[in-house]
Amino acid sequence: MSMPDPERELVRRALPFAVPALAIAFAIGGLLGGRDVALSAALGILVVAVNFAANGLSLAWAARISPNVLFGVAMGGFAVRLGAVLLVMIVLDRLAFFSPTAFIAALVPATIALLVLEIRLISGRFTADLWTFPTGSTGGRP
């Protein structure tokens, strides 16, 4: 039996928290500013969740190829995903209902909470224990 990809496992364990976070952001946004603010806040949570899943899945893919590809995807992927979040915000800002303040007010704490959750999920394990690379020239995980 092969070991599951740690990146996919992290996504699998963290993503279920996106649904209640989305509901909470929508409810708080609705209470503070109405339907438009609620939708904008919920979109902020959705962007964080999609960004996290894209990161985890791209790292899992890259880790199967080689450590060099993993490094490139980790470093380059960060810039690409950050640019994608900015692009989403620019596109959404053209819509009448969108509130950039509510979007950012949901996105920033959700990102921090996700980072804390990630740390808690992997705490107690050394980084070297999370990834395995086979010996030989075949590349990828077993």
Burial of 7 (0-12, 13-18, 19+ CB in 10 A): buried
pTM, full prediction: 0.78
Segment 53-88, tens digit of pLDDT: 999 999 999 988 988 998 899 899 889 988 999 999
**70 with 77: CB under 8 angstroms?**
no
Burial of 70 (0-12, 13-18, 19+ CB in 10 A): buried
Q: How many CA atoms lie within 13 A of 135 on its CB side?
A: 0
**4 with 66: CB under 8 angstroms?**
no
Q: Report whether pLDDT(141) > 60.
A: no
Q: What is the pLDDT of residue 10?
A: 85
Q: What percent of the chain has pLDDT over 90?
A: 56
